[in-house]
Amino acid sequence: MSQEKIVGFQIKEEIAAVWKTMEDGKIVYEIRPSESQKIGEIEFLLTSEQSVGNWSQGVTILEKREDRILFQVELGQVFQELFWQYAEKQVTMKWKTYIKTKVEGEDYLYRLTDFAVKQKMEEHEDEKLYKMDFMFGNIIGNMGEYEVVPYCTVYGRMGLKLGRKSARYTGTIINKVTDVSIKKEHLRIQFQYQTIENCEPTNVLIKLRNSKEVDEMSYSLPIENKGKKGKWNLAEAHLNLAEVKLRALYWDTYLEYRSKEGDVFQTKLKNYSPKFVKKQFMSFWRDDTYSFGDNEIFYPYMTTTDALAFQCREKGEYDGLSFRIKERIAAGVYYLFKKHWQGMKIHLVYEKFCMMAQDNGYYFFKYCMDNDMEKKMDRSIYYVMDKNSPDMDKLAPYKKNVVQFMSIRYIVYLLASKLLISTDTRTHAYAWRRKNSIIFQYMDSKKLVFLQHGVTALKKVDFLYGRGKNGDCSLFVVTSDYEKNIVGEHFGYREKEIAVSGFARWDVLHDKSAGSNEILLMPTWRNWLEEVGDDIFRQSDYYKNYMELLTSQRLTDLLEKNDLKLNFYLHPKFRDYIKDFKIDSKRIRLIPFGEEPLNELMMKCRMLVTDYSSVCWDVYYQGKPVIFYQFDLDDYYQLHGSYLNMRKDLFGPQVETLSELFEAWEKTVESGFQLEPQYEAMRKSYFKYIDDDNSRRICDAILEKGW
């Protein structure tokens, strides 16, 4: 067994393959090479973005003809060397499967692909696919509560997946939540379930989402059986909310089962019926909300995958009766004059929370206004902005095309809109935190051009932005063929749904660092710390590591010696925690989110220090050095994941300790902030265009669609 990178291959394409048999760690594959595909001696190759390396080993040829090759691969050693280490960490992993071969001195690499599955996908390409992988029941590796099974993507690409044994059960379980009520502090969940062989439900589990193991919070609710109705078992569960500790932000609801073998597994409580959603969440008078603390609320909602969940947060301006009245007025105005509004052919452009004009949305809108694209595209193009946004002045030259977020006029335009164009999901086009909305249900039907606000590579987000998922889109804008492959492979989008154009904001992204002495420090957020209290945040490794860095004498000396200034810019999701960083240094500036355009900070900086933030691509695009300070990489891999190997494939030094960070930092300063040759060479594969025509290419892609 050997580890190696996938480099130096002349061809990287798909080869027709099927599984023949799978048992006891052995898999027999049949491959059918095309006339142009050359096959010599075969090695089997496993790769994963999550793992440290790639693994290859020889195969046993069982039969070889010109058009058909049968071979067997023995994976027993792989289970010992590779799979077991991830099973011990309780990490779900997926490996792609390839064969590599050498013919006449040249290396070739082929992705094993089931062409029958691929053809089925192409025949049904207009259907939304909610299941990204097809799992097969054959178990080829058994490790405690984990097992290895083969899988196939919707495009037929084959691989192996390490996951919990419970996955075998959860796909066959059927349940249905029928009512959720909160009266004062008393929560009641009514549901139905069907019995399956060898398994019995034991309790309902309400669990805090995205929590680290040490911070995990969950509550077990005993099941009370209430009889039967046909094939359904009727049941309910209760919880006194005043007797438990509640924390922001999302809580998922599971039905927990135990098999006769003693395996415990969970499946989410769901209901696919629009009638249920209308009855439960769209009633004008019904309000199942628990209020507690100073101004906190806890209430149920349905996720976009039709699962029951709860939100725990501070009460906001869109949670009251007046907001529900405004929605109904706007809906009435729209339906009375529907033909007029739809004749306007409205395109709405917006950014995060409709509070910003700094990112790809703003620069795309600006391009459209400055180049008369309304007339050329025969569309009415509007920018959506909250009236309290500090960026409102930037839109003054285009005020006729600016609509106030959540005004009655805006809600009417939203209902009439032909297309949404944004750096974020559809949910950012409406009140971010709201209850019982009658308008929000129409959002899913709106076409969306997803401009992104960062290159998709360092963080796994296909669970959110994947095709058929909560944040899916109609057209996915990317920056390179490398990124396009990630979006096609992991997100399930077809080629015609991906536009390789580059980012609109890169049209104006030019290096302004000449004569500057600024360094930009910008870490990203952590999902396990989202909206936690100040005390919990200050106890986190995230806070402690950055405070240690910012108060380090070595940093003070480095900045003083080289006459440098450090700009510390927190991710917008952590903007409320900027007050917790108390730094007494004239050379360190703490910049609250929105106070200064991030674009300007990136253009002025000499270099960037980040962890996993996608702003690294903007700085790298300008040819400037980036250092990746990743002190919690293992936690990040487990809770966020990545599409590339952080320890091998980044375009700057990757460090995990403070001393390593300072060594890389000092080396970069001494070089005059020059990009190292190996990182300069990587730019060709990571960027398809380095010009000022990205917005034009996006417009062309929209016109081509006829939107």
pLDDT tens-place string over residues 403-457: 999 999 999 999 999 999 999 999 999 987 777 788 887 888 899 999 998 999 9
Confidence tier at 131 by pLDDT (50, 70, 90): very low
The pairs formed by 210-214 with CB atoms below 8 angstroms and a separation of 24 or more are: 210/250, 210/527, 210/528, 210/530, 210/639, 211/528, 212/528, 212/635, 212/639
Question: Is 77's pLDDT higher than 90?
Answer: no
Question: Is 689's pLDDT higher than 90?
Answer: yes
Q: Are 185 and 242 in contact (CB under 8 A)?
A: yes
Spatial CA neighbour of 581 closest among 603, 557, 548? 548
Rounded Cα distance, 166 and 279, in Å: 33
pLDDT for the residue 377: 96
**CB atoms inside a 10 Å sphere around CB 167:** 15
Q: What is the pLDDT of residues 308-319, one digit of tens each?
A: 999 999 998 888
Question: Is 10's pLDDT higher than 50?
Answer: no
Here the tokens at position 548 are: 């240690």
Burial (CB < 10 A; 0-12, 13-18, 19+), residue 703, is middle
Question: Please, what sign has the CA dihedral across residues 284, 290, 292, 298?
Answer: negative
Q: What is the pLDDT of residues 526-536, one digit of tens each?
A: 877 777 778 88
Question: Is 215's pLDDT higher than 80?
Answer: no
Q: Dihedrals φ, ψ of 206, to 5°?
A: -110, 120
Tell me the mean pLDDT in the region 272-288: 83
Rounded Cα distance, 586 and 579, in Å: 17
From 50-54, 120-124, 143-147, 464-468, the region with the lowest mean pLDDT: 50-54
Rounded Cα distance, 306 and 445, in Å: 16
The mean predicted confidence, pLDDT, of the chain is 87
The angle at the Cα of 261, spanning 268 to 236, to the nearest 5 degrees, equals 35
pLDDT for the residue 24: 73
Percent of the chain at pLDDT > 70 equals: 89
User: Which comes out higher in pLDDT, residue 571 or 501?
Assistant: 501
From 113-122, 395-404, 470-479, the region with the lowest mean pLDDT: 113-122
- What is the SS3 assignment for 120? helix
pLDDT for the residue 173: 65
Q: What is the pLDDT of residues 604-624, one digit of tens each?
A: 999 999 999 999 999 999 999
Rounded Cα distance, 122 and 223, in Å: 45
Tell me the mean pLDDT in the region 142-148: 67
pLDDT for the residue 179: 96
Q: Report residue 344 CA to chain centroid gap.
A: 33
User: Which comes out higher in pLDDT, residue 138 or 589?
Assistant: 589
Question: What's this model's pTM, rounded to 2 decimal places?
Answer: 0.71
Percent of the chain at pLDDT > 90 equals: 58
Confidence tier at 119 by pLDDT (50, 70, 90): confident
Q: Are 602 and 510 in contact (CB under 8 A)?
A: no
pLDDT for the residue 136: 45
How many Cα atoms occupy the beta-carbon half-sphere of 46 within 13 Å?
28
pLDDT for the residue 112: 93
pLDDT for the residue 214: 52
Confidence tier at 49 by pLDDT (50, 70, 90): low
Question: Is 168's pLDDT higher than 70?
Answer: no
pLDDT for the residue 414: 97
